[in-house]
Chains A and B, each alone.
Chain A
């Protein structure tokens, strides 16, 4: 990475899958004046746990401070500065690009062979291309599509995971609010 690009930090956080949790995180970043570069959220294989990948612009902040602040949120189960360890990261983009003549169509198909990209929708005038790769590669791909004619673009932002045996998981099971068999007797008042 060239020296004049600001360092980006990637934080991965396991959070309780409850309403308003995303708001709590974003609000924290805002009030501590930390700049979010990208943020992705999705459920994990456990229904009650979501995982967020947050990329922050490391220009003038201490990322450990950020992680310590995240831990203060009650709904954050685990937060790690994943970019400090061995990890893999992927960014995904959908690009609608002009393919209304042979030249442009060929250029797009050729690019899709050179990059981890593929055409996922083909119309009369335009194609939608999908690329899933490291951010730098996605950036480069977009750069090369530009002269052909980008019409629309959407990106997911980075998702990341520590490599090897590093695991970020939780044993946590949420408390049930409903009455279980026999509980009434146990808690009788």
Chain B
């Protein structure tokens, strides 16, 4: 069948099971947009900025476990995707970005809206393509989706010149059956002797600890994780992206680790005699000072990416493989054990932590971010899909919204992309139309991508936006307070009236200034099928504790004093 390149592309997307694409048209991608009129099976969501499209594809991918797709024109359209690609790259999220390019004959001539997009995106994609003929499109699309979703997932970009979209070629069907990637091997199972050796370390350990990361969620290994923890009586601490890998209500789950993690988790890491790191990569935000990190432990690291083994932390056993496969290999050999004394020590740290919890002794009148998150958790039955932006509210979400299931908390961890939360929540809602999706954002980050309010309105996306408005770039303000002698330069914000703003977009809204209104606000948001914006006006000076100063030892945290203790 003789089809245009654009038609071939869309045929392939349909065969890949793509139902929704997030994009923005423009000159060099117009042939593809025109061809879309013949393929109504693919829903196109018109964003207001291409960055929004890339985050939506990302949120869609994180929430669904499928590949998210975004589409943009050449030049500025494509460069606007870059932040979203970098975000997906850092957090290993499988998305495919399709960009228009100037016609083949114009490449390299500085033509109108020309950018070397494969060059620009090289460091922020897992792989990318410049397609030079329509006949190649099926194989390129097939490879792109395979690479995006397999192994350690990541973003893949396909750049298609305008005349290739128009060129006709024989479409021979999809999949092509030609997939041949000689340099692309996806690790699967572990070597038997590595498994045996790992089991031996588990057998010998007295103070073992599991570090659970994003990889467990992506390889659908959360059940295996729980079995491992329960069998061998090993406490589990989560990375930020690992939230949901194990229910935070499980007695063995001790919550998040790292810079703003639970003090108990950080103490446990430093005191452990065995760390079992699963699908996490020892980011500096979870290790603190790498030289003093968990000094007395032996370490097992399981990851699908061989370059992560021994990258930051030297380990005793490095296992390269798919976590679900590797844990399934391990489970029959795992010894039944209990570590009551170790668990009791962790409990003590946890109790000390709750005594320092602001919620247990706050007596002020202003609303706290911690209260908002805690009550959102309560009134959404702890069951919403939350998508956060980046900053204090993000850390508060991690601390005060315990999650029970995988992929129910989506956040930009590695890159820390402000502006991610709201568009990613829109994408997540497309992936999980039957679930309650909340975008939890700060006043700073929200203003970076709030143009997508129009997208939410146009598509009537049933996403609830909770803005924690403290009139400050809160996390930067916190650093200025602690490390820069309270010189609050360039962090106070004169904000728009967010409720009026919502009104301008035709989006119902509510402003909350006291804790007793939170329940109403959730009920209000739930009563409307479509986007709703709730502005929570919170205390300006709230701090997120505990805090490991950058580069400090992991257990040298700045803590909030207990009730009656003096402020440090």
Contacts and interface: CB of A to CB of B under 8 A. Distances in A.
Tell me which of A62, A65, A173, A183 has the highest count of chain B C-beta atoms within 10 A of its own C-beta: A65
A177 B143 CA distance: 14
Tell me which of B122, B172, B183 has the highest count of chain A C-beta atoms within 10 A of its own C-beta: B183
A142 to B, nearest CB: 36
Interface in A39-72: 62, 64-65, 68-69, 71-72
Contact of B183 (A23, A31, A74, A183): A74
B307 A65 contact: yes
A69 B311 CA distance: 10
Interface in B71-121: 118-119
A102 interface: no
A20 B306 contact: no
Given A74-B181, A76-B183, A184 B309 contact: no
Contacts of B306: 68, 71
B173 A189 contact: yes
A187 to B, nearest CB: 3
Nearest to A76: B183
A106 interface: no
Contacts of A62: 310
Contacts of B126: 72, 74
Contacts of B178: 175-176
A77 B181 CA distance: 8
A149 B454 CA distance: 73
B139 interface: yes
B172 A184 contact: yes
B229 interface: no
A74 to B, nearest CB: 5
Interface string B166-206: 00001111001111111111000000000000000000000
A152 B503 CA distance: 73
Nearest to A174: B180
A31 B307 contact: no
Given A16-B183, A184-B172, A74 B309 contact: no
Interface residues of A, number: 36
B135 A178 contact: yes
Tell me which of A62, A72, A76, A188 has the highest count of chain B C-beta atoms within 10 A of its own C-beta: A72
B16 interface: no
A65 B310 contact: yes
Contact of A177 (B119, B139, B179, B311): B139
Nearest to A171: B182
Given A74-B147, A74-B184, A179 B122 contact: no
A178 B133 CA distance: 11
Interface string B303-314: 001110111000
A16 B182 CA distance: 8
B123 interface: yes
B318 to A, nearest CB: 10
Nearest to A31: B123
Contacts of A74: 126-127, 147, 181, 183-184
B172 A179 contact: yes
Contacts of B309: 68
A65 B311 CA distance: 7
B307 A72 contact: yes
Interface string B291-306: 0000000000000011
A170 B183 CA distance: 10
A179 B139 contact: no
A104 interface: no
A41 to B, nearest CB: 15
A62 B315 CA distance: 14
A178 B178 CA distance: 12
A15 interface: yes
Given A68-B306, A178-B135, A187-B173, 14 more contacts: A16-B182, A16-B183, A20-B130, A23-B122, A65-B310, A72-B305, A72-B307, A74-B183, A175-B180, A177-B136, A177-B139, A183-B172, A186-B172, A187-B176
Closest 7 CB pairs of A and B: A187-B172, A172-B182, A68-B307, A175-B178, A187-B173, A77-B183, A68-B306
22 contacts: A15-B183, A19-B130, A20-B130, A27-B122, A31-B123, A62-B310, A68-B306, A69-B307, A71-B183, A72-B305, A72-B307, A74-B126, A74-B181, A77-B182, A175-B178, A175-B179, A177-B135, A177-B139, A178-B135, A179-B172, A184-B172, A189-B173
